[in-house]
Amino acid sequence: MKKLKWLYPGMLIKRWISLSVFGILMISMGFVMVLSERNSENRAIAGLIIVFGIMLIIVAVKRILRSFMTVLMPDRGEDALVDRIFEKRILEKGPKIVVIGGGTGLSTLLTGLKHKTGNLTAIVTVADDGGSSGRLREEFGVLPPGDIRNCLVALSDSEDLLGALFQFRFKEGAGLEGHSFGNLFITALSQVTGDFAKAIKESSKVLAIRGNVYPATLEKVKLKAIRRDGREIEGECHIRETSGSHIENLSLIPADCKATQESVEAIKEADAIVLGPGSLYTSVMPNLLIEGIQEEVSRSKAAKIYVCNVMTEPGETDDLSVKEHVNAIIRHTRDGVVNHCIANVSRIPKDLYERYMGEGKFPVKLDESDEAWFKNNRVKLVKARIASIKEFVRHDPESLSDAIMNIITEYGRK
């Protein structure tokens, strides 16, 4: 009986089904005439009948699709259907890429990569303790949702309005000022479900994301940095705010925190693992300090790509070159965690250079003499123009994702 519902009045389907059936009959009749008639004129008429029947079927199919679209995807048109088919049929065949990090750099990369493959997984740090995330962490005891929210929005395939809603930040209101709606949504959902990981999964459904987003760990972790002058600093915010000597050592409290099982499984199955872009010590490194993640990344046979930042960060990577960024990762982890490094070679315009210099930020240096170090450490250095240098200096999602896909393609040929 359920199949008969297609024949109910007002479904706007019956007439087009009938038209397609009529088109099939016309084509059949035309072929019968071609086979039975010897007269060339009659065969020509039969050919016209076949063409007419094909046109009727095309019109009917288009109308049926439009009827479905008006119900299933209103206000989005046929282009949305083409995009969805492209995503399911083409992007699902793309490489399995795991991106590890946090901050705006990670979400920027995901914005570009989601158009290259449908097999994306973001493993996100939960060491953030500042801003809206820090307040929610302290008041509700939840893991910081900010970086996860940014990744969810970046991978979102839903309408722009929903993404803008998740990113909306309250500018006033007692208790609301400074909070983003997405952070509050994830926090509330974690309270309702009693599970932060489940809250992320449900949020992923709401935003209809392409891929998966997992926290690196479900334990409440804190960063601890020891600078070369001996100072010990705890907390992501405090590490960012202090300056002076370089960071000599970074660790997690507790040191034995466990990685989420989903993260470990994603790394095991990955064709490529991308570290960054993002703050070296407060976004990228915290994930690699988690033993389960560090061990699986090192063991993986995939292309392991570190995306070096375009600019240095005051108090965190002052004066560090590309080589020193990679060396910091190697010192804190183990052999085999990185086998490729993408470094920007785009020139920074003078006006932007001077503006950033006033903020204590400088382009990350890449010296030709460093290339020997990369070879000795079995890390392939990839120079690429991956910076967007219009109003701000940041990674360009399209250029960066193209560079990563080229590495994956070349690595797969070996």
Instruction: Write out the chain's pLDDT in tens, 414 residues.
Output: 555 555 656 556 778 888 888 989 999 988 888 888 777 787 888 889 899 999 999 998 888 777 776 766 555 555 555 666 666 667 888 999 999 999 889 999 999 999 999 899 999 999 998 889 989 998 898 999 999 999 999 998 765 778 888 999 998 888 888 899 999 999 999 999 999 999 999 999 889 898 999 999 999 999 999 999 999 999 998 888 887 788 999 999 999 999 999 999 999 999 999 998 999 999 999 999 998 999 999 999 999 999 999 999 998 999 899 999 999 999 999 889 999 999 999 988 888 889 999 988 999 999 888 889 999 999 999 999 999 888 888 999 999 999 999 999 998 766
CA atoms within 13 A on the CB side of 25: 6
DSSP 365: P
**Residue of 316, 311, 331, 330 lying closest to 379 (CA atoms):** 330
Number of domains, the chain: 2
The pLDDT score that the predictor gives to residue 39 is 77
259: which strand partners? 217
The pLDDT score that the predictor gives to residue 74 is 58
- Of 72, 105, 123, the residue at which a domain comes to its end is 72
Strands 387-389 and 97-101: unpaired
**Residue of 199, 99, 191 lying closest to 149 (CA atoms):** 199
Residues 117, 170 within the same domain: yes
Residues 55, 189 within the same domain: no
DSSP 187: H
Residues 40, 154 within the same domain: no
SS3 364: coil
Q: In what order do the strands lie in the sheet with 247-253?
A: 232-234, 222-227, 247-253
Residues 58, 101 within the same domain: no
- C-alpha span between 314 and 138 (Å, rounded): 26
DSSP 381: E
Domain-embedded: residue 314: yes
Residues 58, 206 within the same domain: no
233: which strand partners? 225
The answer to whether the CB of 219 falls within 8 A of the CB of 258 is yes
Domain-embedded: residue 228: no
The pLDDT score that the predictor gives to residue 86 is 60
306: which strand partners? 275, 341
- Cα–Cα distances (Å) from 175 to 66, 75, 130, 136, 184, in that order, read 47, 36, 16, 11, 11
- C-alpha span between 169 and 166 (Å, rounded): 8
The pLDDT score that the predictor gives to residue 281 is 95
Residue with tokens 């997405």: 182
Residues 179, 299 within the same domain: yes
In which domain, by residue range, is 138 found?
89-221+258-413
- C-alpha span between 307 and 386 (Å, rounded): 10
- Of 11, 44, 72, the residue at which a domain comes to its end is 72
The pLDDT score that the predictor gives to residue 364 is 95
Residues 311, 399 within the same domain: yes
Residues in contact with 276: Cβ distance below 8 Å, sequence separation at least 6, in sequence order:
100, 101, 105, 106, 109, 283, 284, 306, 307, 308, 309
Residues 360, 211 within the same domain: yes
Residues 112, 175 within the same domain: yes
Residues 60, 115 within the same domain: no
Residues 122, 9 within the same domain: no
The pLDDT score that the predictor gives to residue 379 is 96
